[in-house]
Amino acid sequence: MNDGDNTPGAAHDNKSGAPAGGSPAVGSATSDGPAVVLCDLDGVVWLAHQPIPGSVEAIARLRAHGHRVLFVTNNSAARVEQQEAALAAIGIPAVGDVLTSAMAGALLLQPGETALVCAGEGVRQALTARGVVMCDDGDADAVIVGLHRTFDYNGLARAARAVHRGARLIGTNDDATFPTPDGPIPGGGSILAAVETASGCAAVVAGKPFEPMAELVRAEVGAAAAQRAVMVGDRPSTDGRFARTLGCRYAHVWSGVTPRGSVVDPAPDLTADDLAAVVQALVTDGYFGR
Ligand SMILES: [Mg+2]
């Protein structure tokens, strides 16, 4: 619940007890080491690649205090090095620290399986790294769907046909839209909905808030550290629910898509104006120590 009286730079601890999901309380920095901080990108670090004021310094501050920062994004269209470069361009070194829904989607395929790709370059990169054979037409073990701007009727027909012939249907994410300076535009979930409708099959979805993305985080930092993590996000239906999936805390910021004062569901452990205010709470106000 949000009290709606946030002042600039303020963070509000909504609970003093156990984090969402009933998992053990986050340990103190001294007893368990610095916690992992999982950061959403759009609406937390930047808006359309323009840094949200204070976010770059906040990431540096976390790292200076020994916290591992991972950027957890449902963007499956861009290659990882493009996302790392975009972060570097605003002053955040991030090589090896970006986890995408394309990587999570690749976990749903086994090496040597064949995937029909109805998605962008990020998915092709992740499938290559996984040892998955890719095709654009014909039969496949799975169809994987993500945002791509070349999507058309023929691509929809190929994807639906493969599913009709027995391929599993995987979506990198089910975000209906994503934000741009000109307002929301269709996201990967809109394309996935078309393939689901045409094939009559419900997809397994990889990205936030679902389990494959949680597995990706656990594989990166370990299960115990994942549960001690703090997820910082602006979209409760994605980021807040993802924190629940991981069993970690959720710090909600008002710098993104959620209008200030809205009901945040699931209830966050902390609300703040922006990432800088979250980090102030984490490193100065002893948030990890409770
Ligand atoms: Mg966001």
| 258 alpha carbon – ligand 1 mean position (Å) | 9
**pLDDT bucket at 180, cuts 50 / 70 / 90:** confident
* 273 catalytic residue (yes or no): no
| 125 alpha carbon – ligand 1 mean position (Å) | 23
Q: Where a domain ends, among 157, 173, 205?
A: 205
Considering the domain architecture, whether residues 123 and 198 belong to the same structural domain is answered as yes
For residue 23, is it within any domain?
A: yes
* 42 catalytic residue (yes or no): yes
For residue 86, is it within any domain?
A: no
Per-residue pLDDT tens digits for 109-156:
999 999 999 999 999 999 999 999 999 999 999 999 999 999 999 999
Q: Which residues pair with 243 in a beta bridge?
A: none
- Answer whether residue 64 shows pLDDT above 60: yes
- Expressed as residue numbers, the domain containing 239 is 11-74+209-289
| 39 alpha carbon – ligand 1 mean position (Å) | 9
| Strand 249-253 with 230-233, pairing | parallel
CATH number at residue 189: 3.40.50.1000
Number of folded domains that form the chain: 2
| 256 alpha carbon – ligand 1 mean position (Å) | 6
For residue 236, is it within any domain?
A: yes
Per-residue pLDDT tens digits for 210-244:
999 999 999 999 999 999 999 999 999 999 999 99
